[in-house]
Amino acid sequence: MTPTPDVWKIASVGDAARARAAVDRVATDGGAPALDRARLLTSLTARLRGCLDEGGAWELRLRARRTRAGREGRLEVSLRRPGSPAPDPDGEPALVCPLPRRPAPDGPAAGTTLSEALLRADENTAAVLKVLDEQERLVRLHLEELHQTNQGVLALHSDLEAAALAQRELLEAERTARAEAERARRLLTFLGDASAAITASLSHTAILRRLSDMLVPEYAEHLDVWLFDEEDGEQQEQVRERPPAAVAAARTCRPQHAGAHPGELPGTDDLPPSAQPPRRPVLALPLMAHRQLGVLTLTAPGPRFDADTTVMLVELARRVGVALENARRYEQYRDTAETLQHAQLTDLPTVPGLLLAARYLPATRGLNIGGDWYDAFLQPDGSLLAVIGDVTGHGLHAAVVMGQLRTALRAYAVENDSPGDILTHLHRMLRHLQPELYATALIARFRPGEPEVVWASAGHPPAVVRDTDGTVRVLDAKPGVMLGIPVPYAYTDHRADLPAGSMLVLYTDGLVERRARGIDPGIERLGRVLATLTGAELEHDLDAAADALLKPLLHDSERDDDVCVLMCHTMAPAVPEPGPEAGRGPSPTRRPGGGRSRGSVEDTRREGGCRESF
């Protein structure tokens, strides 16, 4: 399409209004969109107002043309001075509006009046308002959608925040639960270890020492144990010296807490704050068994006692009470058994031409009471019977049976001087009275002036002889069966040379037998040690020789079995010196050292110790 320029002269407001109406008419006929048309007219009105403000004559040129790129055309409007080639003084480009179709061929101003222009302006305004309404509706719709979206986002953020908070709370609860479980595990482990430690001993002092080592300083700054005495007078005296919490626990048999503020600990009673509260909180726990044994008082290691720790301490105190009660009963049982056994170990007699020394060492493990015993007594014919024996088992029952055997042996020896006959009667008696208990024994008979010894053995370790020249031999004749074996048996006598200056050693298996070793190596070791003793040493102080014999053989401080040794050293009878006391009868034979030869338990305790010190 060839461009068709139209020109309007503008010198007044009326000219400007008519020119604007013509442009509106062309744009409307060309099918320009309402918004594009409104933009064109609005911009044109502003330029026309500017031209009128400057004054003078102006030309408005209107041209409709087609674009090269397509069939759609466009409308170009420009303002300039008459005869000027430039669009306008300010150099602004022409106003452009798209034209979908070709405008009418009539002149642009034909039929165009101001009234029509005014109406067309309202139509344009209505079209713009319609578009604006539609856009406003869309904006409101989008605003509503945005609001709903924002609400959803806010709700999602709220849910996420709540979920994060719940997750943090769960994590914190899990950490707390893990910490509490670990603390409970640690307290239970400590309680188990402490229980094992305090029940491993049957000594009051050892139990309390271990208790102090375990509790201080982690669970208590220090502790005090108040054990009740059996006599009420002493207990009343101690009450005045104890803290109020301990006295309250002793009177109520309940755990007591004392401090500047109530502890509210589980299972405990809070004492009212006194005028002078303790420097740190105090926990007084009764030590209970079948009766109240005492009170354990603990001073807190910090500002207060923890609730879980208090529960553990209360349970530990209960177990300590049971352990102390077991220790008390053990001590009573041990003292009774020791008294009974010591009553069986009488002093050795004095015999011309014979020195006697004995040692008894209880086992260091267990009750310290066994069935080992020795005995030596004179017969009516002047001979002496030396006896050593061992009842199977350990404890009070073995000690009682040992006493029965010792008494029965002395009774049978009154009518029988043969060691074999005495053992035969003992065997028959033990089979009848104690069918499930057995014993070993060896009896040796010494007659004054005879250079031999007659002996019989019931399953006992063989006796050892040290000759005058220091050589050692074992009396290894086949022994009889153990006493009490459920078969009839008659024991036979054996004879062995024992000239003056030689020695017969009787012993129990605790001296020569060790774990993982046989008894033969122990007997060989006994012979080697015995050979090192000299005749002068034996005759001068047989008790010292007995200690010298035991020391290398019992170098271990721990013994699983009792040890019993009876040493019989022969020597020429002492010739009494004439003097004022001559004729008063024979005096007791004394050792060259001046002391009477006798058995000893207490001396051995001083050397090696036969029981634990409590």
Backbone φ and ψ for 28, nearest 5 degrees, come out as: -70, -45
Q: What is the pLDDT of residues 32-68, one digit of tens each?
A: 888 888 888 889 899 989 888 888 889 898 888 776 6
Q: Residue 103 has what pLDDT?
A: 67
C-alpha–C-alpha distance, residues 259 and 241, integer Å: 19
Counting residues of the chain whose pLDDT is more than 70, the rounded percentage is 80
For residue 374, what pLDDT band results from cuts at 50, 70 and 90? very high
**Where are the CATH 3.30.450.40 domain residues in the chain?**
201-337
Q: Residue 56 has what pLDDT?
A: 87
For residue 398, what pLDDT band results from cuts at 50, 70 and 90? confident
For residue 393, what pLDDT band results from cuts at 50, 70 and 90? confident
Read off the amino acid at residue 389.
G
Length of the chain: 614
Query: Degrees (nearest 5) of the Cα angle 220, 222, 225?
Result: 105
Q: Residue 364 has what pLDDT?
A: 61
Is the pLDDT at 485 greater than 80? The verdict is: yes
What DSSP line would sit under 565-602, residue for residue? EEEEEE-PPPPPPPSTTTTS-PPPP--TTSSPP-EESH
Average pLDDT of the chain, as a whole number? 81
Is the pLDDT at 232 greater than 50? The verdict is: no
Q: Residue 38 has what pLDDT?
A: 86
C-alpha–C-alpha distance, residues 266 and 465, integer Å: 71
**Where are the CATH 3.60.40.10 domain residues in the chain?**
353-574
Angle between helices 519-532 and 542-553 (to 10 degrees): 140
Q: What is the pLDDT of residues 116-132, one digit of tens each?
A: 666 666 777 777 788 88
Domain 353-574 class? alpha beta
Torsion angle, alpha carbons of 107, 112, 117, 118, to 10: 180
Q: Residue 112 has what pLDDT?
A: 58
User: Is residue 613 packed enough to be buried (19+ CB in 10 Å), middle (13-18) or exposed (0-12)?
Assistant: exposed
For residue 527, what pLDDT band results from cuts at 50, 70 and 90? very high
CA distances from 38 to 19, 126, 305 (A): 15, 10, 89
For residue 442, what pLDDT band results from cuts at 50, 70 and 90? very high
Place of tokens 């220091």: 470
CATH superfamily entry for domain 201-337: GAF domain (3.30.450.40)
Counting residues of the chain whose pLDDT is more than 90, the rounded percentage is 28
Q: Residue 578 has what pLDDT?
A: 52
Average pLDDT over residues 317-337: 85
Q: What is the pLDDT of residues 208-222, one digit of tens each?
A: 999 999 999 988 988
Q: What is the pLDDT of residues 85-116, one digit of tens each?
A: 655 545 578 888 888 877 655 554 444 566 66
Alpha-carbon Rg for the chain in angstroms: 62
Read off the amino acid at residue 228.
F
Instruction: Specify the DSSP element, H or E, that contains 41.
Output: helix 34-54
